Each structure stands twice: as C-alpha cells, then as structure tokens.
Amino acid sequence: MAFIDLQGVTKRYNQVPVVNHLDLTIDQGEMFALLGPNGAGKSTTIKMLTTLATPDEGKITIGGADVVKQPHLVKRFIGVVLQQISLDLDRTVWENMEFHGRMHHMPPKERKEAIDRCLEYVQLQDRRHERTRNLSGGMKRRLQIARALMHNPKVLFLDEPTVGLDPQTRRRIWEIILDLKQQGMTILLTTHYMEEAETLCDRVGILDQGKLIEMGTPEELRKKHGLAVVIVQNEKDQRLDYKFFPTMADANTYLESLPHKQGVMVRESNLEDIFVELTGRQLD
C-alpha cells in the first residue's frame, strides 16, 4: 500500500519549475532512494514532503494525510535527518533529545523512556551528558537519527545521511538504516553514493530537471540499460565513452571486434554508469 503519494506535484521559483509534474508513490515499509544531479529538484521535493515548502500544483499525502491541509498530522508521521547538522551544539546530547520530545508534546515518562531507548539504539547512551559540539561527525549523525526516531515516526527522511563520514562510520550508519528497514520503517533516502543506494534501497528514482526520468530496482535498471559496459578512453580529449551491452558475452564480442584494444575496459555495469548515461552528468 502506498504510504507516500505525490501526484502531479510542481514547485516553481521565479516562475521556473524546479519540480515539474512529479508523480511518485512509495509503499509502506519500502526504502526508496531519490537520486539526481545538483539542481534536479531533490531538496525541494524533500522540503515539500516535510511541510517546509508548499507545492504550487498537485497533491502530496503521507499516510493518507495531506501535507498542505494537515501538516500537524504529517509531522507526527515523519522523522527527518538533514544533511546539515541541525543540533544545538552548546547543549548536551540529553538536552537535544529532551527538547525534541517536548516539541512533540511527549509526556515526561514517555519522553524519558524514548531518550533512553533511542540513545541505546545508536550506541550513544554513555555520551548523554556530553556537550554535543564535542562529538565526532559520526556521533552527531547518529544523534540526529536517534532524535528523529524519538516520537516513533512511520516514515524516515534521510538527506545525505553519510556525506563526509569515514568508511567505518558510514558502514555503522548503514547497519542502523538496514535494521530500521527490517523493522518495517518506510524510508526515503537521498544520496550521491551509488553503492549506498544499491546496498540499502528496494527501488531508486532518478530525478533530472525536476522530472523523474527513470525508476526501478537497481537490478531492473541494469537489465534495462545493459548488464555490461565497455569503457573506451578517447585519444583526443581523454574522456571516457561508455557503451552498454545486454550481457558480458556481448560486451566481450564487441571488444574482440575492435582493431585497437588499448585504453578499453570491459566490466559489469553499475548504478552510477546508468546515472551518468541518463543525465549526462556526474553526481555532485
């Protein structure tokens, strides 16, 4: 059953459509990655979903609630982890959590239990009295996740949750996200790490110039565009040209037909290859 539903959604800035008649449904319990180059409309879409911006056209519902007409109900459903560190750095870990609980009108006993539960979940219970500015980047991101989970949201929005983190910390965040997915949480993720989208998500959608230009599981997209790719380095400008093939056998047959094989590579395709093929641009 669709839990997030966008129908004909358009948002304009200075009369220019940043999101252009976007149709998108995300099922309950699904983890969906929204990908796109800079200016594609990802951030604007997230702002509209989280009630921070109002669509000029179309309708958005989350859990059946209209984000424009019922924003207070929508806010009960959602948890948000922004790319920017949105914590009060001068307050302690516990104080940041306490303030969030009060903003959601959680009773004192429920608030305390939620703080204990969520800090333990992200392994920050021993840091509860530490000033937030003293935490590492990974700890701050885990605190943002703990805070977003305090009021038991039904859907979690993750905007570039691992950007700027070292590989070990990134994998720890992945473990948390995968566990939330196994618990049945509906998750919408934006990321510029293709490996992250392939590892974590059930489906991905590629947004470009405000329009959804491709959508499906990572494997469906690979099968559609080609499971193998031949990469040829152009001798004149040194740029890499990609040519897709249905199978590795087809790619190797093409390779054998080339008179010159220097600077040519054959491998399995991946999501980043398809992204570049569709948008003509590298990820941010």
All structural domains of the chain, each given as residue ranges with its CATH number in brackets, are 2-216 (3.40.50.300), 227-268 (no CATH)
* pLDDT value, residue 1: 65
Among residues 217, 272, 226, which one has the least CA distance to residue 249? 226
| Cβ pair 248, 227 in contact under 8 A | yes
Spans of the chain, pLDDT less than 50: 283-284
- The phi and psi torsions of 255 (rounded to 5 degrees) equal -60, -45
Whether this model's pTM surpasses 0.85? yes
CA angle 156, 158, 161 (to 5 degrees): 140
Do residues 212 and 283 lie in contact, with contact meaning Cβ atoms separated by under 8 Å?
A: no
CA distance 127 to 142: 12
The pLDDT of residue 283 is: 46
pLDDT in tens, 200-252: 999 999 999 999 999 999 999 999 999 999 998 877 777 788 899 999 999 99
Q: Residue 284: its pLDDT value, please? A: 44
pLDDT of the residue at 281 = 57
Would you give the DSSP letter of residue 131? B
What string of DSSP letters covers 85-100? --S-TTSBHHHHHHHH
